[in-house]
Amino acid sequence: MLDLVIIGSGPAGMAAGIYARRGGLDTMLIEKVSPGGQAVYAHSIENYPGSYQVPGYELMFSFANHLEKFGLVPEVLEITGTELSGRVKSVHTAKETIEAKAVVIASGASPRRLGMPSEGKLTGRGVSYCASCDGNFFKGKVAAVVGGGDAAAEDALYLAKICSKVYVVHRRDSLRAQDIVQKRLFAMPNVEMVWDSVVEDILGADKVESLLIKDVNGGTVRKLATDSVFVAIGQVPNTGLFAKEVALADTGHIIVDREMRTNVPGVFAAGDVTVKPLRQVVTAVSDGAVASYSAIKYISTEF
């Protein structure tokens, strides 16, 4: 039996791994795809202290290297189920069942979808959830970004440097993105804000050709010609696997206390998957550190 299983290797999971290994825990870190989580897709991170305008993949690569110094390399495995309420925790994968004294859930979040059938049909054909991954396909062309948060504003800024024109379609008349990013965005000559508007449909036979945009005040619908649409309307926490055992908020995020404890003894959670006021690399790292610190305390008293 292991001491600790950490689920997810974004900034929270990797920080948890470093703290767990330094605390002497026999630890396994499980990752579904590849290390780094969503931060990998950030074109530039400038608010993680010590890293000014560093590509997300670069920062996450340095996290993974740091983790490896303490003998921990994420294992790419698909988790099929968990049993977390007993004293011994079980994490099932297609290959094996892993048993541990404690678990840190750092499974992050996934992009929220607009929800219309055309979105699925045209994903990869002009519909994207990652500007830094797919922006270059639309070099010199028109892009539309949907959303008004940090992700939408940063995606729009990034695309404005590549594309001929960028529309930002937002359902209200102000952004919630950080002030510094808004100012940079509004200064771009090729960015046009489409306020108070929602996407009714994405049109195109085998690639995106236009959006049907509805004005939320007047209800008028118009066509907006674009070659691409980058959906940045927030995140949905990856908690489906744990919903039966761990208490969730209405939003689907895991409820934790200041020590990153969930309602289940021996189960901790960290990062974007939890209820929290600020979702950034810096807070994810803090969560991960606290979660492992709490796991170390828990194991030393309970085992």
Q: Of 226 and 280, which has the nearer Cβ to ligand NAP?
A: 280
Write phi, then psi, for 243 (nearest 5 degrees): -60, -30
- Is residue 231 a contact residue for ligand NAP (CB under 6 A)? no
Q: Of 55 and 234, which has the nearer Cβ to ligand NAP?
A: 234
| Rg value, the chain, Cα | 21
| Token pair recorded at residue 120 | 């699925």
Which helix (H) or strand (E) is 165 found in, with range? strand 165-169
Write phi, then psi, for 240 (nearest 5 degrees): -50, -40
Contact characters 163-182, ligand NAP, x per CB under 6 A: --------xx---x------
Question: What is the nearest approach in angstroms of ligand NAP to the Cβ of residue 81?
Answer: 28
Question: What is the nearest approach in angstroms of ligand NAP to the Cβ of residue 181?
Answer: 7
- Is residue 150 a contact residue for ligand NAP (CB under 6 A)? yes
The DSSP annotation for 35-59 comes to TTGGGGG-S-B--BTTBSSB-HHHH
Active site residue 134: yes
Nearest position to ligand NAP, beta carbon: 149
- Is residue 234 a contact residue for ligand NAP (CB under 6 A)? yes
| Token pair recorded at residue 15 | 């920080």
Which of 13, 35, 56, 149 is the binder for ligand NAP (CB under 6 A)? 149
Active site residue 196: no
Phi-psi map region of 110: left, alpha, beta (phi>0 left; psi -120 to 50 alpha)? beta
Contact characters 273-292, ligand NAP, x per CB under 6 A: ------xx------------
Question: What is the nearest approach in angstroms of ligand NAP to the Cβ of residue 280?
Answer: 5
At 111 the three-state DSSP class reads strand
Angstrom distance (rounded) from CA 278 to CA 26: 30
Active site residue 163: no
Distance of CA 81 to CAs 7, 8, 256, Å?
12, 14, 21
Do residues 4 and 29 lie in contact, with contact meaning Cβ atoms separated by under 8 Å? no
Q: Of 194 and 290, which has the nearer Cβ to ligand NAP?
A: 194
Residue numbers 2-61 binding ligand NAP by CB under 6 A: 47
| Token pair recorded at residue 283 | 């807070």
Question: What is the nearest approach in angstroms of ligand NAP to the Cβ of residue 145?
Answer: 10
The residue ranges that bind ligand NAP (CB under 6 A) are 47, 112, 147-152, 154, 171-172, 176, 198, 232-235, 279-280
Catalytic site positions: 130, 133-134
